């Protein structure tokens, strides 16, 4: 059985792709990579590039870890510094692959203004994020003497990532047919 790891760092050409597979030309041979439980993809064009295979990458954090809901229970003394540290702590984990505001605007559907209001009042939901981000936020709260609580179960579900230039697919697994 051929493993995807064998093609890591090889030059590939995207021949075709659909929602459940991608066909790559590698060393003049065609290989079909089927996606098992695809979670996210950004495939836009046929092109040549170097295939990068990852089991650990900032893009995988959202898929490998369960989300926890975070509530703030007291106010920070310096709101601006708290928010700056809050953002930096998320950016350190996502390395810029995800916007830090997505964890409240998209994941729980509140605006930045509501997020700020909840922090100013020291009460309310402020985040729904993977548990490594929540653990980082917990350290920021401790630093700023802010009480917080979170709800949810910490679970890991391994996923894999293939990247070719700026295009990528995240799935539980890639099977080569």
Q: How many helices, marked H, and strands, marked E, lie in the chain?
A: 5, 9
CA distance 103 to 123: 17
Which CATH number is correct for 60-151, 2.60.40, 3.30.1390, 3.40.1350, 3.30.450? Answer: 3.30.1390
| Predicted local distance difference test score (pLDDT) of residue 89 | 97
- Residue 149: what pLDDT? 97
Q: Where are the domains of the chain?
A: 4-52+160-176, 60-151
pLDDT of residue 177: 83
160 with 53: CB under 8 angstroms?
yes
Q: How far apart are CA 93 and CA 115, in angstroms?
A: 20
For 96-129, the pLDDT digits (tens) are: 999 999 999 989 999 999 999 999 999 999 999 9
Q: Which residues in the chain show pLDDT less than 50?
A: none
Residue 74 has which token pair? 């007291």
| Mode of pairing for the β-strands spanning 148-151 and 124-130 | unpaired
pLDDT of residue 133: 97
């Amino acid at each position: 059985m051929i493993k995807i790891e064998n093609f890591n760092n090889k030059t590939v050409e995207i021949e075709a792709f659909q929602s459940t597979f991608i066909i790559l030309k590698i060393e003049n041979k065609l290989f079909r990579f089927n996606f098992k439980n695809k979670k996210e993809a950004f495939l836009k064009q046929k092109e040549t590039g170097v295939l990068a295979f990852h089991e650990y990458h900032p893009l995988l954090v959202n898929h490998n870890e369960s989300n926890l809901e975070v509530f703030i229970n007291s106010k920070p003394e310096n709101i601006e510094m708290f928010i700056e540290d809050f953002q930096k702590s998320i950016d350190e984990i996502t390395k810029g692959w995800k916007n830090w505001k997505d964890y409240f605007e998209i994941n729980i559907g509140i605006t930045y203004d509501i997020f700020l209001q909840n922090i100013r009042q020291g009460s309310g939901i402020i985040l729904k994020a993977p548990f490594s981000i929540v653990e980082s936020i917990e350290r920021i709260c401790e630093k700023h003497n802010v009480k917080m609580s979170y709800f949810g179960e910490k679970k890991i579900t391994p996923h894999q990532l293939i990247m070719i230039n700026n295009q990528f697919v995240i799935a539980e697994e890639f099977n080569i047919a």
